[in-house]
Every structure is written in structure tokens, then in C-alpha cells.
Structure 1
């Protein structure tokens, strides 16, 4: 039986790979995609999501408009040098491309009620929309969600925006703190493991020649753009990490990731803004069991690569 997934994303190249992977994975049934600001402005994020769904002929999946910026109201910094001016590297959705309806925020509640007790939320973008759910609808708004799979944070390793902070937590630390405090059954995928989820140009070249999926024309140009950006930032890197694919893969192939249960907190202000904190001492302070989060600290990267390739070689986009 496939997992029903409500996906929060901001495509962005690795978000786009995550959406493609989810659509191709027969064990995932995407029931909605919330698209907001992050790697690109909100409007571009929505358009990129719609373009991917159109390529997949999955226009039946509702797109929900996310937010335009963080809870703090600070100006948003976008990353065209990493994701390209349109968010898909050099690719621009064609001018002839038109998508239909975009739903407002209330659609999230509708989906949660429709799939009550049988829904996983996967968040691979900023955490603003999820935090807003708790702010607008109260602490119990998401009680019928089974679990939250979140890409974010960095523990005892360097950040990718500041010395200590990862992008999703840094861009809206107030939202990240709210979600980590109020969400239950959280599985967190920090840079500790997502930085190692590296796909090489050889893998992409192979898929570019052999993938039977409608996404094949996107794979190489988007990846090559992303890889070039990583080569500038991390000289000598052999490929590019597809951070956002990790939580989706861990959902359907749980053996890929090993977790440590700890309570996660997020710094909101100052030099440590966006820093994720957990107590990794051999005898951590005791916390109530319901406040513990499952932090992914080890990952089987060989299995990650082969699972990724399988999705793009034999994945089925048909309605699940």
C-alpha cells in the first residue's frame, strides 16, 4: 500500500528531483504539493511545481499556494547561482505552458481531514507554511497526521548558509522552532546525512540516455547547473547532494537511515540564528518521550544511489 504524502516544497533543483522521485516511486501517493518561497519566489515555485506535474500528466494533484516570505517579515534571499533564475537551472517552463487551479491555504486542512490518520507530511522547503498551520489553526490542527519527515538542520557539522545553520532552518528560524516544538513523530534529515547523498554526473548521464520517464529532458541540464554551483562552493566534490530526495526515500525504504532520538531546538536570533541544537552527550538530560525527534545521523549512500536510479529507470507515474 502506498503512503499518502502531502509534500511541502520550493522547487529549486533538488526539490524538483524530490518531486520527480516521489511521482515515480510506486510506494508514494502524493495527495497535494504546497509550494512557497525558498529557492525561488513563491510564484516561480508554484509554476515549477505545476510544470513538473504537467510533464507527469498528474494535473489531478492539487497545488496549494504557500507563503511569500518568513514569519519575521525579513526580505528573502534567493539563490539563482545554485538553482538558476527560474529555479530549474537553465530550464524555463515554455511560454505555451499554462496550469489551472491553485488552491488556497485551507486546502491543507481539507487534505488532512480527507486522509485522517493515513497521511505523512514531508517538508523539504522552508518551514513557514507548517508553522502557520499551528499558528492559524491551533496546536491540534495537525494531530491526525501520522508523522512529519523534514529536511533541515545540521548537528555538530558546518551549516550551508552560515557556519552553523542549514538553509531551511536559517531562512525562517521562528517557523523551524515552532514546528520542532509542536509537531509530533518528527523524522529529521539534517546536513549530516543529506550532504552525503551525492549523485554523480555519471549516474545522471546514464539516466539521461536510459530513463523512460517524461522527466528525462530535465535531468541532465538541471543537474549539471546544480553540480557546477557545488563545484564552486566545494572544490573537488565528485557530484551534487540531492538533499530533498532523502526524506522521501527514507519513508519508503526505512533501512537506508539510522536515527538518534533527541529533542531538537532551534536558535531564533543573533549569530547562531537557525542553528539546530540537540543533546548528544552519552547521558543527555531526560526529556519527555513525546518531545523526542528522530534525527537521521547515518545513511547507506550506496543504497540511496541504487534506489534513486531504480526510480528513474523503472518508476511508474500512473495514478496510485
Structure 2
């Protein structure tokens, strides 16, 4: 039986790759996509998600729009510098026009109804700011038992990408991230940018994807602005498909090697706002210094077979060539 998956997203080029990865995987039952502000405003992230599903021939999947701003404080800026003005390198309109309208229900309501109706636990892959997920866990505690795990793309163990300390998804709504990552409500995997950067793909990988068929060519066509940004970030010609790495773990549990660690999110207004503070100390030392046993932990993704991960994503996306 195909595993049930919901993606919460803010497309975004890497989000588009991630949605497509799930949409064309035959061992995944993609039962819903919810959208959130982030790389671009909510109207654009919702339109982009619907267009990517149309590209994949998956308009059976319902899409619901969610939070248009963070839980507490205004969002400082978008990520147009990486994803272009429309979130897809200015090429959103080149994707198919979707025939299915967004759901009239909001994202949290759709999440709650899908989970309530599920007969087995559902994996949720939040690959944008965590606002919708924080609201779901707070407002609908009864659905927590229906969540198998959250596989979250976000955070950084070393340095950030939006600020010196903050990775974009967590920095976009630190209060929501704190609620989700520190609450221990449901099992969670955190896929930080330290690992996703190491999974970056080169021009050869992209060329193989482009030549695999219409889906691969369409996805490659979305990357010019994103590639230009990552030429600066990486120092070489390539792309970091952050969100696709997290969705790969959602599809194939264990493709990433994780370690259970406490995670805190900095919600202050100094230069570390949005930082994910991962406690790598031994549990015994934590108990000695904090005077209490360790609390909730998150499975933080630390390692993977880099070539195997790249091949997994490429092979799955190439399956959508028809």
C-alpha cells in the first residue's frame, strides 16, 4: 500500500522539484498540498503549487492556501533574490494552467480533515515556514495521533543562508518553528541546510534530468534565477535542491541518517534570530548542567549516501517522462 503524504510548501524552485518528486512516485499516495507564505507571497505559492501538480498530471490532489504571514511578527522579506519574482525564475506562466480550483477550506482545515479521515498515520513534509503546522498542532490536538512524523526542511547547524545564523524557513517564522520543534507533540525529522548543501547537484545531473522527458525539461526550465543564486552560494555551477532532500526522506525513510537531539529556536531580535540551536552534548552532560532529564528531541538528519540520494531523486523525476 502506498504511504500517505501531505506536503506543506511555499514554491519556490526546490519546492517544485519536491512536489514533483512526490507526485510521480508510485509508492506515494499524495493526498494533499497546503501552501504558506515564504519564498513569495501566498497567492503566488498557491498558484505555483497548483501549476506543478498540473505539470505532473496530478490535479486529483487538493490544494489549500494557508497562512499569509507569520504567527506573531511581520515577515521581513521574501526570497526573490533566489527564486525570482514569481518564485519560479519568472517562468511560472510557462507551466500548465490548472483546471482545478484551490479548496475553499484553508490549509489548516484541509490538513485536519485529511488527517481525521485517514485510516493509517500520515507523513507530513513541511518544506516552507512552519506557520500552518504550528497552527494545526495548537488548534487540532486530536489529529496528532494521525501524524506518523513530520519531515521538515529547515534549520542550520553551522551558519544560515538568510542571515549569518538563520536558515530561511525557520527565520521566516521562528515562533512557529519553536512551537513545532520544541513541543514534542509528534515525531519529527529536521533536514538542515548543512546536509542539503552537501547534496547539491551539478550541471551534468541537470542535463540528464532535462533530457529525460517533458517533466524533466519543464523542471530544468524553472532554474535560471535559482542557478545564478547558487553559483554565488556554492562557488560553482550547481543547484541545492533543499526541499527535495526532505521529501526523499519522507518517501524513503532512512535514506538520511539521523540523530535524536534537542532543538531550540532563537526567537529574540538579535543577529541570531531564527537560529536552530541543536544540543550535541551527551544526554548525561545535559542532565548534569541543566538539572533535569533531556526533554523532547528531534531526529536531525546528519548524513546520507550523497550519490545515492542524487540518483534516487533523478530516477524518480525521470519516471515522469510521459
Output the TM-score relative to the length of structure 1.
0.91
- For the 8 Å contact 1:153–1:166, the answer to whether it is kept is yes
Distance 1:243 1:26 in 2: 22
- For the 8 Å contact 2:262–2:295, the answer to whether it is kept is no
CA distances 1:231-276 after superposition (whole Å, capped 9, x unpaired): 1234x23411100011211133334311111111111112221111
Partner of 2:190: 188
- More divergent stretch after superposition (105-114 vs 140-149): 140-149
- More divergent stretch after superposition (214-223 vs 280-289): 280-289
Distance 1:278 1:94 in 2: 41
The structure 2 residue matched to 1:117, chosen from 117, 120, 125, is 120
The structure 2 residue matched to 1:306, chosen from 304, 311, 314, is 311
The structure 1 residue matched to 2:130, chosen from 120, 127, 132, is 127
Output the TM-score relative to the length of structure 2.
0.90
Is 1:20 matched up with 2:20? yes
- The structural deviation recorded for 1:118 is 2.3
Distance 1:6 1:36 in 2: 13
Distance 2:6 2:85 in 1: 26
CA distances 1:13-37 after superposition (whole Å, capped 9, x unpaired): 0000100111122222110000121
Distance 1:98 1:238 in 2: 32
Partner of 1:165: 166
- The structural deviation recorded for 1:280 is 0.8
Distance 1:94 1:162 in 2: 32
Distance 1:83 1:89 in 2: 5
SS of 1:291's equivalent in the other structure is: coil
Query: Aligned runs of 1:51-70 on 2, under 5 Å?
Result: 51-70=51-70
Partner of 1:100: 100
- The structural deviation recorded for 1:92 is 2.8
Q: Could you list the runs of 5+ residues in structure 1 that have no partner in the other structure?
A: none
Q: Could you list the runs of 5+ residues in structure 2 that have no partner in the other structure?
A: none
Partner of 1:200: 202
- For the 8 Å contact 1:36–1:43, the answer to whether it is kept is no
Query: Aligned runs of 1:6-17 on 2, under 5 Å?
Result: 6-17=6-17
Distance 1:316 1:23 in 2: 13
CA distance 1:118–1:42, shift in 2 (3 Å): same
- More divergent stretch after superposition (284-293 vs 58-67): 284-293
SS of 2:300's equivalent in the other structure is: strand
SS of 2:198's equivalent in the other structure is: coil
Query: Aligned runs of 1:130-279 on 2, under 5 Å?
Result: 130-137=133-140, 139-155=141-157, 157-182=158-183, 183-209=185-211, 211-212=212-213, 214-234=214-234, 236-271=235-270, 272-279=272-279
- The structural deviation recorded for 1:230 is 1.1
CA distances 1:24-57 after superposition (whole Å, capped 9, x unpaired): 2222211000012100110011111111111222
SS of 1:215's equivalent in the other structure is: helix
- The structural deviation recorded for 1:304 is 1.0
- For the 8 Å contact 1:124–1:150, the answer to whether it is kept is yes
How many residues matched? 312
CA distance 1:14–1:170, shift in 2 (3 Å): same
Partner of 2:299: 294
Partner of 2:71: 71
Distance 2:188 2:285 in 1: 19
- Aligned CA RMSD, in angstroms, stands at 2.1
Distance 2:196 2:149 in 1: 19
- For the 8 Å contact 1:91–1:218, the answer to whether it is kept is no
SS of 1:175's equivalent in the other structure is: helix
Distance 1:96 1:11 in 2: 15
- The structural deviation recorded for 1:3 is 1.3
- The structural deviation recorded for 1:81 is 2.0
SS of 1:93's equivalent in the other structure is: helix
Distance 1:60 1:316 in 2: 19
